[in-house]
A and B are shown apart, each in its own frame.
Chain A
Amino acid sequence: MVNGVNGVGAGGDGGSSSGSDTVTAAQVRELKRQRLDFFNHGFEAHQPAAQPDLSGRHCFVTVGATAGFRSLLDEVSTAGFLESLAGHGFASLEVQCGPDHSAIWERLARLDEEERRGVAVSCFAYTGDMHAHIINCRGLAGVRPAGCVIAHGGTGTVGEVLGVGAPLIVVANPTLMDNHQLELAEDLEAQNLVVHGQIGSLTDALGRIAERITQGTLDNLPPYSPPSFPVSAADRVTFFDWMVLTCYPDELAVQMLQQPVVNGDVPAVAVDDQEDNGMLVFD
């Protein structure tokens, strides 16, 4: 199974990446075994076996697990895009292609040394552990500079990248129902959380993300710590527990009238109490 095009990703991409043009039964068995290993070691400890060269900036392109996104992949596999990457100090490009893996692999393989401008290129179809790839793009003080994730506008991917804190360019996939990814991309751009990239002018978006990296502290973040689990009582979403209580109407009535008791004082939400009384009626 050949994953790497330029040596960097060669030799497989950890236990979790899969998908190539021809996969024999033995390779499938090997993949399954690796997958089991991966679970035995716990998913937090998992790292890709072939670490990309982390001295330069790393760019990770992902189209998500569900649908393909050919126009984005076509654009990132052009010489012009690689030139722009090299110009902004990127040393490696990794592409998750989904169903278009073989076509994109061919496109990338056709680029010669000159056109790659020293950017190490690799691609794979799917991964079971997106997190391990995204974390390489998060700047870490003294270890690696911030890179960039270029992703489709799916909520799963976008949520995960923003949770990790890696710079993100969102490109909405216009072929999906109602072009719904556009809404999220525009919204997050307005909140200054991501850069909204357009097909056809990704190099502009790359320039804007590079500007953001040089202006901010994204190169020198503290080590990533996964969010605490279980979440603290203050952050916990309790709404759905109320829905459970609607199955027990008596208990619900009791709890909706309950007031917080702070040091035995009379609670300060007496007004709320009366309104609550009114709202107890379910019509």
Chain B
Amino acid sequence: MEEIVREMVHDFGPDRFAVFVYLGLIAISILSTTGFFLLSWSWIVAIINVLVTFVIWRHFSLRREHPRPETGQRWISRRNPSTPNTAGLPAVYFLYILGSGGHTSEMLETIKRKFIPQANAHRRYLVTAGDQDSLDRLIKLECLIRRCFPDDPRAGTLDAFQVPRARRVHQPLWTAPLTCLNTAIHAINALTREPDCRPTSRHGAQFKYPHVVLTNGPATGFVVCLVAHLLKIFYLVPRNRLKMVYVESWARSRSLSLTGRLFLWSGVADMFCVQHEELAKRTKGAVYVGRVAARLAPPG
């Protein structure tokens, strides 16, 4: 069984896509450079103006569509066991971004705590390249799920993608933009490639894009969410897909992490969650979701 899961996970899919994106970026930069020499100043200014205005307008119109923190708080305080019910939906497709070490532990614990057996569920994991530990642990989790639901479609389907890491621990901040760009370009593939196990021929476009992108603090998560936001800004992904949820690490009880501050400031995430009540009170726009990433009380 472990072999099957391993195979599913190792099917990363070809990353020819990144090459095309690189070529596209080079083409755009060549075009804009030639335009810079050929066009008159007034044209250049006008084009840049239109572009910037469009991006800003789209950014704010997308932000306006985000559910309010009060709505999120209401979802949490609701005590109706029959909702939310996602079993009847055509597809439930999560993208989980695994960072490294503690980020992975927290994310896997969250996945365990939110798991519900449904045949319409697909899970995609985003792992940073070279992070064998996270890969092993997610395989363990998937084995656990498959052992609980052997030969049962309710175990759901899964696949995994690899991206280069955005920032290594202790990497100086000034080299980060370069590595981030590399991550971003590889992330496009993971965000837009439909799962092989859920082809369009059988499911239509239901599994084309993830519904919810869940991240909890690695810098990679912010880069991926920024790319997802840009895809929505340029109408490359419909706006009712790629809902981004940021869960601040359980370690942060009084102040936000750098990634957290970036998410909050940029407004990229649809929902900004923290796991400590005190921090939620201090942070405008944050939802207190409780301790979703750690299990404190010893069982038994």
Residues of A within 8 A of B (CB): 39-40, 42-43, 64-67, 126, 128, 153-160, 162-165, 176-178, 180-181, 183-184, 187, 193, 221-227, 229-231, 233, 235-249, 251, 255-256, 258-260, 269, 272, 275-276, 279, 282-283
Contact = CB atoms under 8 A, between A and B. Distances in A.
B101 A260 contact: no
Given A67-B169, A224-B300, A279-B74, A229 B144 contact: yes
Contacts of B299: 163, 165, 224-227
Contact of A66 (B100, B114, B115, B140): B100
Contacts of A249: 240
Interface stretch (B28-36, B42-50, B287-295): B287-295
Nearest to B292: A237
A242 B214 CA distance: 13
Contacts of B86: 241, 244-245
A164 B276 CA distance: 22
Contacts of A180: 251-252, 257
Given A159-B106, A276-B74, A177 B258 contact: yes
Contact of B289 (A64, A183, A239): A239
Nearest to B149: A230
Contact of B114 (A158, A178, A240): A240
A128 B136 CA distance: 8
Contacts of A233: 81
Contact of A242 (B84, B117, B255, B293): B84
Given A65-B133, A222-B300, A236-B116, A244 B92 contact: yes
Contacts of A241: 84, 86, 92, 114, 116
B133 A178 contact: no
Contact of B293 (A155, A222, A248, A269): A155
Nearest to B117: A230
Given A65-B100, A165-B298, A236-B113, 18 more contacts: A126-B133, A155-B249, A156-B101, A165-B300, A224-B299, A225-B300, A229-B144, A237-B110, A237-B113, A239-B72, A239-B75, A243-B212, A243-B245, A247-B211, A247-B241, A249-B240, A251-B88, A260-B79
A260 B72 contact: no
B273 interface: yes
Interface in B225-273: 240-241, 243, 245, 249-255, 257-258, 270-271, 273
A163 B116 CA distance: 22
26 contacts: A43-B140, A65-B100, A66-B100, A67-B101, A155-B294, A159-B105, A163-B298, A163-B299, A178-B255, A180-B257, A187-B253, A193-B296, A221-B300, A227-B295, A229-B144, A230-B115, A230-B116, A230-B148, A233-B81, A236-B115, A239-B75, A243-B243, A244-B92, A245-B86, A246-B240, A247-B240
Contacts of B170: 67
A260 B78 CA distance: 10
Interface in B37-95: 64-68, 70-72, 74-76, 78-86, 88-89, 92, 94
Interface of B: 2, 64-68, 70-72, 74-76, 78-86, 88-89, 92, 94, 100-106, 109-110, 112-117, 133, 136, 139-140, 143-144, 147-148, 169-170, 211-212, 214, 240-241, 243, 245, 249-255, 257-258, 270-271, 273, 276, 289-290, 292-296, 298-300
A183 B212 CA distance: 30
A160 B85 contact: no
Contact of B253 (A184, A236, A248): A184
Contacts of B65: 282-283
Contact of B258 (A43, A178, A240): A178
A167 to B, nearest CB: 11
Contact of A164 (B64, B68, B84, B298): B298
Nearest to A272: B78
Contacts of B292: 237, 239
B89 A248 contact: yes
Given A245-B86, A258-B82, A283-B64, A154 B298 contact: no
A163 to B, nearest CB: 4
Contact of A183 (B94, B103, B105, B254): B254
A234 to B, nearest CB: 8
Most buried by B among A40, A128, A239, A279: A239
Nearest to B217: A155
Given A238-B114, A242-B75, A155 B82 contact: no
A260 to B, nearest CB: 4
B297 to A, nearest CB: 8
A249 B94 CA distance: 17
A230 to B, nearest CB: 5
Contacts of A231: 112-113, 115
Contacts of B133: 65, 126, 128
A243 B213 CA distance: 10
Contacts of A223: 300
A43 to B, nearest CB: 5
Contacts of A66: 100-102, 169
A275 B88 CA distance: 26
Nearest to A127: B133
A177 B270 CA distance: 26
A279 B70 contact: yes
Nearest to A275: B74
